[in-house]
Amino acid sequence: AVVSTQREGGKAVVSTQSTGGGTRSISGTSHYHVALENRLAELHNKERSLVFTSCYVANDTTLQTLAKQLDAEIFSDSGNHASMIAGITNSRMPKHIFRHNDTDHLEQLLAKSDPDRAKIVAFESVYSMTGTMSPIEEMCDIAHSYNALTFVDEVHAVGLYGDTGAGLAEERECGSKIDIVTGTLGKAYGLIGGYIASSDSLVDVVRSYGSGLIFTTSIPPSTAAGAVASIDVLASDEGRSLRQKHRESYSMLRDKLVTGGFPVMRCPSHIVPVLVGDPLKARLAMEHLFDRHRIYVQAINYPTVPRGSELLRFVATPYHTPQMMDYLVDALDDVWTGLDLPRNTV
């Protein structure tokens, strides 16, 4: 593979002549994969990182591998992503579900557990459908008081929060309390792939025994090189400027939707969910917005959200203007009226 990364017109450009490799252990690890893993470890201030084909695979593989190898009980937030649920289920280890973001319930469950058995507390920093944020530091402190490892999914936070884009834990200055952090190279970083970052010993356990790493093709060298460039951009002053514009943009969108009387689910993150509460009407609202107004927004139905919680999920970018948002509000007003949907803030 021949890969070069350079700056052209203030933008990062990756040029490459490369072919896909094999699995990570058989010709699928190049200089660019190693450079990416070193950069991710540096980003999260951890000893080591490990790159996977997606963060679904990273979460599934890491949770099931560590739980099996450590003979650990797992304590999981009820709002956790399907990839985390898959890893917990596939581990076949004892699991305990605590109410979403409920630190008291988490502590009650930990207090009842075997003090001599290994434990993993797994949760997300930003939840993708509701936009809620977890009390990261408090959860980590509770977990560590019962000698549990903390596993935190920062998929919806990396690139978007923190001084260098390392996520919500960096923004709240508690990243050192996370034992295993996972993230994506998609979403804010704009590519594909996922990763974990942790201590050298924990990462080596996953590298040595994780079937989701061992038995699948690695990401291409060009993707790895592009990811390093993207991380560097979002860790720079340019990235900080983009995050500030992004915050202003999604805050403005939320305010406009609330002012318009739509049932916005109030949350502190960049995700702006609008409750519909009916699967058919959610689908129709999506179709009418696109067909009549050329606006694409995704309807979210079961099993991604519980039945009765169907919603439209909006995420503004730094480049959405106030005029664009006003057009969206007018279009949404037309659709909401036509479908006789309720107007109240959640």
- Which residues are annotated as catalytic? 187
Tokens of 78: 């009820």
Rounded CA gap, 3 and 12, in Å? 13
Look at residue 146 and give its three-state secondary structure: coil
Within 10 angstroms of residue 201's Cβ, the number of other Cβ atoms is 9
Alpha helices, H only, 28-81? 31-44, 55-70
Rounded CA gap, 219 and 53, in Å? 6
Cβ–Cβ under 8 Å, residues 120 and 66: yes
**Which residues are bridge partners to 337 per DSSP?**
none
Look at residue 149 and give its three-state secondary structure: strand
Strand (E) positions, the chain? 2-8, 11-17, 48-52, 73-77, 95-98, 119-124, 149-153, 180-184, 194-198, 272-275, 298-300, 311-314
Tokens of 38: 């070193």
Distinct helix (H) and strand (E) counts, the chain: 12, 12
Query: In Å, how far are 66, 83, 196 from 39, measured between CA atoms?
Result: 23, 24, 12
CA-nearest of 244, 243, 240, 181 to 40 is: 181
Tokens of 313: 């999920």
Tokens of 121: 């507390």
